[in-house]
Chains A and B, each alone.
Chain A
Amino acid sequence: MKKSFLDFIFRNRLPVTLFVVVASFTLTYYGSRAERDGIGYTPDQPIAYSHKLHAGDMQIDCKYCHVGVEKSRHAMVPAVATCMNCHTVSRKDRPEIIKLAEYYRDGKPLQWKRIHKVPDYAYFNHSVHVNKGIDCTACHGEITHMEKVGQMNSLTMGSCLNCHRDAHAKFPELKDKIKPGPEYCSACHR
């Protein structure tokens, strides 16, 4: 009697329990991976700005607004005044533009929801990547198709290294221009 009970525990109960635990952990781990990496995070913004309209349909250069991207490690979110370069004359009657003009008039800064973020101890630099000819879409996705911007790719160290190690496969068009990216620690951490 006793023996068969133990037998039951070791032969059936334990493997089943272990299987359930491991399987549910694995499923949850990989299933939630994208969400935990922030992929698909598409917050509402204080102004319903459309990248599809501006960057896609009207083909305004990214660098018109993101002025730091070639010079600095920050691409920079444009100042309200940059929007007003056009919107002092164009589409003044639209509700979102009226909101925008209020910010400008009151001298209030716009608090955009942050979408892409690498940890504080990683010092990502936009300018080196852009100046090497890597397109914005490589990390940010097809921004020209996005009505509302969300995170498309994982920004973990693994995804950085994916490209850095395999740059020529990832960017065949830049094969002659770029070397594989650095893999040593202080390239990003300092």
Chain B
Amino acid sequence: MSDIKSDNTENMNSNHLEPNYWRSFEAFYNDPAVIEAKGHEFKEGVTDDFSSTGMSNLSRRKFLALLGASAAIAGTACTDYRDKGEIVPYNIKPEEITVGKPNFYASTCTACANACGVLIKTREGRPIKVDGNPDHPVNKGKICAKGQANILNLYDPERLKNPLIGRNSTFNEISWKDADSDIINALASANGKEIVILTNPISSPTTLKVIEDFKSKYPTTKVYSYSLFNDDIKNAAWQKTFGSGNYPLVKWNEAKVIVALESDFLGVDGNKIENSRLFAEGRDVETKSFNRLYCIDSTLTITGNNADYRLRLRPEAQLEFVMSLMSELSGKGALNLSVNTAGYSLSGFATKYNLKKKVLDQLVKDLASNKGKAIVDAGSSLSENVHIAVNLLNEALGNSAMFRSDSAVTTLVENSSVQEIESLIQKMNDGNVAAAIHFDSNPVYHLAQDFGYKKALSKVGLVVTLSERENETTSLSKYVLPINHNFESWGDAKTRTGVISLQQPVIAPLNSTRQKESILLTWINGKSDSFNETLYHEYLMKYWETSIYPTLNSKLDFKRFWFGSLHDGIVLTNETVAASRTFNSGVTSLLSQSSTAKGFTLLIKENYNLADGSFSHNGWMHELPHPVSKMMWDNYAALSEKSCKDLGVKNNDVIEVKTGSRKISLPVFMQAGTADEVIIIESGFGRTNSGTVANDVGFNSNVLLSKSTDYSPWIYSGVEVTKTGDTYELASSQEHHAFDDPRIKDLHKIRNIIQEATVASYLKNPHIIKEKHHGELASVYDPHPYNDLKWGMAIDLNKCTGCGDCVVACDVENNIPVVGKDQVLKSREMQWLRIDRYYSGTADEPKVSIQPMLCQHCDQAPCENVCPVVATTHSPDGLNQMVYNRCVGTRYCSNNCPFKVRRFNFFNFRDHFRDSFQENPILALMHNPEVTVRSRGVMEKCTFCVQRISEGRADATHENRKLKGSDITTACQDSCGSNAIYFGDINDKESEFYKYRNHELGYYVLEELNIKPNVTYIAKLRNIHSEEA
């Protein structure tokens, strides 16, 4: 990074017809260090970091003495060497359990507020994998990375195991009975003072009823709800524009033109699983229909990665942009409403913010010619007037047809306003709050520091925190009560009209934890001994029987209805979406222009993996590379290249970001495609008192939040940035496992790792990709005949959004360990599946290409030829097999793999990471028992989920039928929200997979090597205008 060369004229030339792909700025500027590194299999220092000083200082004599002693002990002790241990069957076998066969239970995921339906796979009573519930109308059988990784939260060794009482900032264990009676006494003697329940948004109707009951028992109770990231502004703007309701759901699948303004609807805005599915439906190579996505935002996001056109714009300019757009459209007579856009002009705007006029012209043309079939969507972080302007624009273009009428988001409890929180803190400071109950919330970490919540908490007599694990808030509490995990809990969730999702436990509580609702119920009963395990279960059933079941007009009696519904995981109700909305024309008066932005703008963004910090103790989520920057284990200040130059900083330089009196210091990451003078910092890092994995990873962006905001709670103008002179090493995987060797000029173009075309050129010439193929190449090997079943995969790059959900699904399915930042820096991450992200074009306006890369199971696999111990071979059904017990760790195979998909266990990573954190016996319960847990010194790689194939084959034998390709799905395929992955039998001509395997857009990576991969990639088509192709 030190010597970036400033000229790379060929790369800079955006009009170059064949895109020149690059992953990082270092590669873009042909940094010699990167070029040199690509020539080596492993990173420098990886194989020679064994120094004699780091070794044991045991003397040779002592070592031999110990060796002798241990041999003697072993010799005398191992008298019963034939002993093979015990088989311990059940005393009474549960009827539903067959040892070795999984059971699946429908439940609801509470990892985020979307409450998707899940199907939890359990083996012998232990949950080991989570998939989406296929019957759930919202997520339809898919679940995101957080939902997948939720399983690690269940088995987390650092979960609270017993109730704690804090005295003088030390915490001691206390019995539930004592804690409950103390708290009940304190609540009963509130004497008219307020009892506060502070919670994250509640989506369960029954939880709400519990809280209502709590309120009637303790009448001074008030409930406050907050969430760090929310759609409140968007919904408020909708209500102002149309009088009622929430911002509706969008028919992403039907929209022909999508304009995303700072909106990351494929990432963190809304339900990404549903949005990805619908968006991908609109980009289908089978029906040859493609939507067109314009992104106008401040930095690259998952949505921006998938954009056909993308423009960089600082967030405060969005209102001006929408108004200018309306002005241009109304000038063309394309608007149904008259909007006063005096003073705005699109061409003036383009000049002011240095945007490509040509792209803006195309946007105007597309919007005008697709009236009623386009949608403009503004991100939740933008201010209210932008949302109102966007509502106005959609209304004026007649785009309301693109809003869904079959389903809408419902809110059970409105979030508390800033004023409400302020008055709460005032009351706390005045000593008018008797008790503060943190209902699974972490306000000390989340709330803006200038609220002074931490200080106010010390004035409250009784602070109770219900939490799964220690965090910033528990350390300031009197009582810390451990609560059940998602998978140990009963519940229900209603986030949409017409469907209620049910949650059932799949394992008894692992520790002495309680369901959070039943803790409240115990307090409502007023007797500390009134708790029992079924308290909330019975309450839930009772509430459903008396309040929800009667409204459903079910023909079944309640018991049958209830067990049927639990089995399905969902209950469909006949609730409809309020269809009518009246446009409030007076709303245009709200479109006043806020002051123009100057200086740096700070945008605090929800991290894809950690969200608001609720996953920051989860190693898998830390190690899932950021979908854009490929960063692991850290957050950073993302800056554009120009901003970096202006500030005189480069990657890893630490800067101080200061807004008002609030400041943090964190390292810089030069992010391609970022708007100039914008700093993007992601949330969820910089935790304290939150456990071995979470503590002190990254930097806490929440300290920059303020209660008084003139734009939105996540956007701050006029931020001061100064270089501190320190450096901090960030661990990004973007140059790891690279196989596009730039030492040979233009080779990557010839190698066609990424192949792309435009929709227009494809429609004109369907063979545009196939034409580039080399035809039949000569081989020194005789082709092996595969007449029977042969496994293969097809990945549709038009549908893949690059989110990384599949990576975590693979982690969970295949027992992939967490390796830690020190190992990531050495390029030793263990994931079998990685998402390669290539940029092309210029640094400021890059086009992004995404490619999931996994073992290609080549018919003539180069890895197999070089293994000296035949530990990697080929199976008759086309799998490249890896036999761990045979591998001696020469790493020749990895060296010879052209795709760099093999992973070597340099350590027993379970032992190596954070002082044997993953060696904790409880984490062994999480492992998939059908997959070997690999130890040090062996190579591993994607197996095409061979354990699933074996299981499918055994089932087929049991049912006396032939195994079919469609019987098997891989873990990555199951998790893919946009259905981009297909798996099946290459020889089965009837199958869905066959179509993709032999698609005219299909190609193999590194085809010219003639190693015959079994993974087909469907070339990405960009839906750009034909004249630019």
Contact = CB atoms under 8 A, between A and B. Distances in A.
A186 B881 contact: yes
A123 B954 CA distance: 12
A190 B931 contact: yes
Give the size category of A's interface with B. 35 or more
Given A184-B873, A190-B946, A112 B885 contact: no
A38 B81 CA distance: 10
A74 B99 contact: yes
Interface stretch (A1-9, A17-25, A65-73, A167-175): A65-73
Contact of B89 (A73, A77, A186, A190): A77
Nearest to B880: A186
B958 interface: yes
Contact of A79 (B89, B875, B930, B953): B89
A72 B930 contact: no
Contact of A121 (B83, B85, B884, B954): B884
B100 A72 contact: yes
A111 B957 contact: no
A128 B959 CA distance: 10
A103 B87 CA distance: 15
B55 interface: no
B751 to A, nearest CB: 30
Contact of B954 (A103, A104, A128): A128
Contacts of A116: 84
A104 B101 CA distance: 25
Contacts of B87: 77, 111-114
B947 interface: yes
A128 B960 CA distance: 10
Interface in B62-98: 82-93, 98
A132 B89 contact: no
B144 interface: no
A81 B931 contact: no
Contact of A127 (B85, B883, B931, B958): B958
B93 to A, nearest CB: 4
Interface string B720-760: 00000000000000000000000000000000000000000
Contacts of A71: 98, 101, 958
B939 to A, nearest CB: 14
Contact of A190 (B91, B930, B957): B930
Interface string A133-171: 000000000000000000000000000000000000000
A113 B89 CA distance: 11
A117 B99 contact: no
Nearest to B86: A111
Given A189-B884, A190-B947, A38 B91 contact: no
B947 A111 contact: no
A186 B875 contact: yes
A125 interface: yes
Nearest to A104: B91
A76 interface: yes
B876 interface: yes
B525 interface: no
A190 B943 contact: yes
B932 interface: yes
Interface string B864-882: 0000000001111001010
Contacts of B884: 121, 189
B876 to A, nearest CB: 6
In this complex, the member of A112, A185, A189 whose beta carbon has the largest number of chain B beta carbons within 10 angstroms is A185
A77 B99 CA distance: 10
B944 to A, nearest CB: 9
A131 B954 CA distance: 9
A131 B960 contact: yes
A132 B879 CA distance: 24
A59 to B, nearest CB: 23
Contact of B91 (A108, A114, A119): A108
A70 to B, nearest CB: 6
B952 to A, nearest CB: 11
A185 B932 CA distance: 14
Give the size category of B's interface with A. 35 or more
Given A107-B91, A185-B873, A186-B946, A121 B881 contact: no
Given A74-B99, A189-B883, A120 B932 contact: yes
Contacts of B946: 186, 190
B950 interface: yes
B958 A70 contact: yes
Contacts of B931: 190
Nearest to A110: B89
A78 interface: yes
Contacts of A189: 881, 883-886, 932
B957 A114 contact: no
Given A111-B86, A112-B88, A125-B950, A82 B100 contact: no
Contacts of B950: 123, 125, 186-187, 190
B99 A68 contact: yes
Contacts of B82: 35, 38, 41, 43
In this complex, the member of B100, B879, B881 whose beta carbon has the largest number of chain A beta carbons within 10 angstroms is B100
Contacts of A112: 86-89
A80 B957 contact: no
Given A190-B943, A190-B946, A76 B89 contact: yes
Nearest to A126: B100
A105 to B, nearest CB: 10
A74 B92 contact: no
A186 B879 contact: yes
B983 to A, nearest CB: 16
A131 B956 CA distance: 10
Contacts of B954: 73, 125, 127-128
Given A125-B954, A185-B883, A190-B932, A76 B99 contact: yes
A14 interface: no
Nearest to B85: A114
Interface string A4-45: 000000000000000000000000000000010010010100
In this complex, the member of A68, A116, A117 whose beta carbon has the largest number of chain B beta carbons within 10 angstroms is A68
Contacts of A109: 88-91
B885 A119 contact: yes
A117 B87 CA distance: 10
A187 B91 CA distance: 33
B91 A80 contact: yes
Nearest to B934: A121
Contact of B88 (A41, A110, A117, A186): A110
Interface string B926-963: 00001110000000000100110010011001101000
Interface in B825-883: 873-876, 879, 881, 883
A79 B379 CA distance: 58
Contact of B98 (A41, A76, A104, A117): A76
B88 A111 contact: yes
Nearest to A111: B86
B128 to A, nearest CB: 15
A48 interface: no
Interface in B95-110: 98-101
A43 B92 CA distance: 25
B100 A68 contact: yes
Nearest to A73: B100
A114 B92 contact: no
A145 B174 CA distance: 58
14 contacts: A71-B98, A74-B99, A76-B100, A77-B87, A111-B86, A112-B88, A117-B84, A121-B885, A123-B947, A131-B958, A184-B875, A186-B879, A189-B886, A190-B932
Given A79-B89, A121-B884, A189-B883, 19 more contacts: A68-B100, A79-B93, A80-B89, A81-B91, A103-B91, A107-B91, A112-B86, A114-B86, A115-B84, A119-B885, A127-B957, A132-B957, A182-B876, A185-B875, A185-B883, A186-B883, A189-B932, A190-B932, A190-B946
Interface of B: 82-93, 98-101, 873-876, 879, 881, 883-886, 930-932, 943, 946-947, 950, 953-954, 957-958, 960
Q: Nearest 8 CB-CB pairs, A to B?
A: A72-B100, A79-B93, A184-B875, A74-B100, A81-B92, A114-B84, A79-B90, A186-B881
